[in-house]
Structure 1
């Protein structure tokens, strides 16, 4: 009798557990969207990769959407127009402070940190035929493509180049479009801020000869003093145009989630991405640094409770003060 009662109790507990899980899952969205960036940029490829993984692992239909990049993603996730998105930490801070150009004066504080992605290097590409091999070679009044309006590149690269004393004309557009304009001679250089390899740069290498312009040590130091970036080297292995690593600067990227999403859903989404890094790397090379140990690269953006729970269960130590609500 004791054995039978124990068995019945175990079955009841399993049934209750399943019932609770089903009730919790009933609050999940029927589908989800991930705000990325322009086609041809690293955000779109990376976002498509993890959207597919989350969809497969959670059973919730989802996919990537083309957007204007980090600034717009902060706004779209804040409002809930996109469930998830991706941003660099500079635009994230400006958005929290009410300095997002897309929603000026509004503190976009309903977009929560989800997981660390990778560092975004800032790099400049020119046609070899232009003769531009260094920052000092870029002529006054040069026409420079800075990516989509409001993107990380468009927000920070002009400030960097101004800090180095350059005078230029700004152009905006998707990375693929700007790459085409560079090839057609409509731009002098393109200033990319995207995870490497940038698809548009890789495509240019196939079609023509290009120079990837690195910063000098002095230029790098000036930029680091002026803006929230750190030193970085673009590995020579990512582009055939590089024989040695290229000195650069970079800014960390984080995935973000609407803070109102169910804790259990975000927990499972983070688990799907962070729990199998090898699979993420196979989907996108930029995911090599999508590792749990980089949770500490976020020092100000409130974490979604579901994300915080996963990281704290897997070696993290996220302060309760940095968890939303």
Structure 2
């Protein structure tokens, strides 16, 4: 079922009549692709689990072949969706804004305006994890020259967390890699700290908790405020029941994530995909707990990207969304 790069789910049947409640509405499939790919991020991170999960759900419900693909995260996803190499992807608002402005490091100068907003996902908290044996219990405890893993190159974490650490006066040696790999390096003593930006619970942290004792480090009020003043993030608390290590909520900051679609995909197709994902939140939460925020009323958290026409139509019909015409993509 799985490969190193792509998880595919075969269609259960060729018609919707036996597999989905969406049959009558989605009989007209003119221009629909026979298969699709969702750009996610590295294995061991929330994007991969969440993205592969909703891709599989859509494939099953709509009788298509589709799945999640391992990528470098939001920056690469914006590029893949813009060019059409991936039909769908996931991004955070910061990398989306940079990509639209033409400052995505993958293709400097290219304004990636053919990637459209599709549906709200969840907030990405920024959090720090170290082994308990390291003695690191706060940001100020991080030693000079610490080896910090910031996730895959070009990811939201790698884009923003080093800047945040510099803002807080931390001197570090920057390391990149997939979350599972970085978790193994932390456990083996090859890293001092991992700086995560991922939906919680982060699978790699949950796995570390089972195997060893870790410290999940929160920001102080002063540190949180300094980051809020300098970056496009909002206040966030990681709930105490997120990890067994936590005894009380951990102070953090977060950035919203949105699913994105190539703007040239048929409106009826994108609307059907949004319908599958947004119409039954319980199924999404069963895929990943972060999906508790994948709710129609969070459509307004997108202030950056133009909406795909099919997605805009769904939210206007089902969530009373007030989306202005200039925020809906048009190739006219």
TM-score (norm 1): 0.93
| Residues 129, 215 of structure 2: 8 Å contact kept | yes
Equivalent residue in structure 1 for 2:286, among 272, 279, 282:
282
Partner of 1:139: 143
Give 5+ residue unaligned stretches, structure 2: 1-22
Aligned counterpart for 1:153 among listed residues 137, 153, 157: 157
Output aligned runs, 1:239-258, within 5 Å. 239-258=243-262
Quick check: 1:319 aligned with 2:324?
yes
Aligned to 2:123: 119
- Where 2:49 maps in the other structure, the secondary structure is helix
Of structures 1 and 2, the larger Rg is shown by 1
User: 1:14: which partner in 2?
Assistant: none
Moved over 3 A (4+): 18-22
TM-superposed CA distance for 1:19, in Å, is 12
What is the aligned counterpart of 1:229 among 215, 230, 233? 233
**Structure 1 residues without counterparts, runs of 5 or longer:** 1-17
Q: Whole-Å Cα distance in 2 between the matches of residues 21 and 116 of structure 1?
A: 22
Residue in structure 2 matched with residue 30 of structure 1 by the alignment:
34
**Alpha-carbon distance between aligned partners in 2 of 1:36 and 1:312, rounded to the nearest angstrom:** 27
* TM-score, scaled to structure 2: 0.91
1:231-253 deviations in Å (ceiling 9; x for gaps):
10001101000000000000000
1:73 aligns with 77
- CA separation in 2, counterparts of 1:281 and 1:20? 25
Which residues in structure 2 correspond to 1:257-296 (within 5 Å)? Answer: 257-296=261-300
| Residue aligned with 1:222, SS | helix
For residues 20 and 148 of structure 1, do their structure 2 counterparts lie closer, same or farther at Cα, with a shift above 3 Å needed?
closer
Q: CA deviation at 1:21?
A: 6.7
* Higher helix proportion: 1
In structure 2, how many angstroms separate the alpha carbons of the residues matched to 1:244 and 1:293? 28
How far apart, in 1, do the equivalents of 2:275 and 2:325 lie?
Answer: 20
Q: Which residue of 1 aligns with 2:65?
A: 61
Distance 1:21 1:191, change over 3 A: closer
Q: Distance in 2 between matches of 1:20 and 1:54?
A: 15
C-alpha root-mean-square deviation of aligned residues, in Å?
1.3
Whole-angstrom CA distance in 2 between matches of 1:122 and 1:20: 40
Partner Cα distance (1:60, 1:109) in 2: 27
2:95 matches 1:83 = no
| Matched residues, number | 307
Q: Give CA-to-partner distance per residue, 1:266-316, whole Å, 9 cap, x none.
A: 000000000011111112111000000000000120000000000000121
C-alpha distance in 1, partners of 2:91/2:201? 18
Written as runs of structure 1 = structure 2, the 5 A alignment for 1:182-261 is: 182-261=186-265
